[in-house]
Each structure stands twice: as C-alpha cells, then as structure tokens.
Amino acid sequence: MDDSLREALDAGRAYYAKKEFKRAEAYLQQLIDAEVAYADVYNMMGVVKHHDGAFSKAKAHFEKALELNPAYTEASLNLAVTYNDMGLYQEAKELYLNALTSSESHDGKLEAFVAGKLANMYADIAMVYCTAGVFEEGIQEYRRALQLRPTFVDLRLRLA
C-alpha cells in the first residue's frame, strides 16, 4: 500500500472513530476505488451508508466485508441490522443467530470478534511506537496482533 493510501486509511479510520462519517466517507471511498481489500474499510463504509439511509449500498459494503473476512462478527451484525431496516426480517434473524453462534468462545479461547478488536488495538499501539521511531517495540506489538488474528492481511502488511 502506498503512502497516500496509508494516509487515507488512517484518516478514514480516525474520522470514523469520531463518528464524522461524511469526512470519513471521502477517505474510505479512495480506498475502495483503489480496490484495497480490507474488510474493515468496507464495514466502515457500510456504517456510513447505513447512517445516510442508503441501505442497499450499506448492504453491498457489509457483504463485501464478509466476503473478505467471513468471520467478521461486527460486519455480520451490521448487515443483520441493515437487513432488518430493509424489511428482510428472516434474513436478518438468520444472520444474527449465525453471527452469535460462530463468535462463541470455545476451549477457553477468545471469541473471534474480541480477538479481532484486540488485534487492532495492538496494531494501533504498534503504529504509535513506529511513529515514535521505536521500531522493535512496534514489531513486537504487530506480532502480538498477528498471534490473535493471523489471517488479517493488513496487519501482515504493516509488519512488513
């Protein structure tokens, strides 16, 4: 990912976190136009579109997020809410129950949603270390993140 896309990703995530959806949308759209295959980008854009009342567009973005990461519980739940808002009650119920069932903890391990959130938090800490020039600590935090979610391609790219 080039620097301009990395900046768009950082800005989009930052504005999204502050619930400044209109500002986040422009940056997220840049990433989508560049075909960046990050499930969280599509999930965030889905939330933006849902917030605007564009349920069909939100649905498409949530579905793309789930195509990229079928275990993305947050995107599943967002899609279930969108289905419900579109009057697709049976689909919403099935998706919701499936998301809850697939995210349950087994054998004392973290459930997928929690592990994903923690992995992203470790990645955020790693980015702070790297920005401060403390690369060894940053690398350790990225490795922690990848221990939790080894399939997160964006974490692998950041570590590289």
Backbone torsion region of residue 53, taken as left when φ is above 0, otherwise alpha when ψ lies between -120 and 50, otherwise beta: left
Please list the ranges in the chain whose pLDDT falls under 70. 100-113
**What is the reported pLDDT for 120?**
80
**What is the reported pLDDT for 2?**
87
**What is the reported pLDDT for 97?**
78
Residue recorded with tokens 């990225």:
142
**Among the listed residues 111, 55, 63, 58, the one whose alpha carbon sits nearest the alpha carbon of residue 86:** 55
Sequence-ordered list of residues with C-beta below 8 angstroms from that of 85, at least 6 positions apart, any chain: 50, 55
Written as one string, the DSSP assignment of 16-46 is HHTT-HHHHHHHHHHHHHTT---HHHHHHHH
**What is the reported pLDDT for 153?**
83
**Among the listed residues 129, 36, 25, 134, the one whose alpha carbon sits nearest the alpha carbon of residue 145:** 129
66 phi and psi angles, rounded to 5 deg: -75, -30
pTM of the model: 0.66
**What is the reported pLDDT for 121?**
81
**What is the reported pLDDT for 61?**
97
Cα separation of 11 and 52, whole Å? Answer: 20
Written as one string, the DSSP assignment of 107-135 is TTPPPHHHHHHHHHHHHHHHHHHHHTT-H
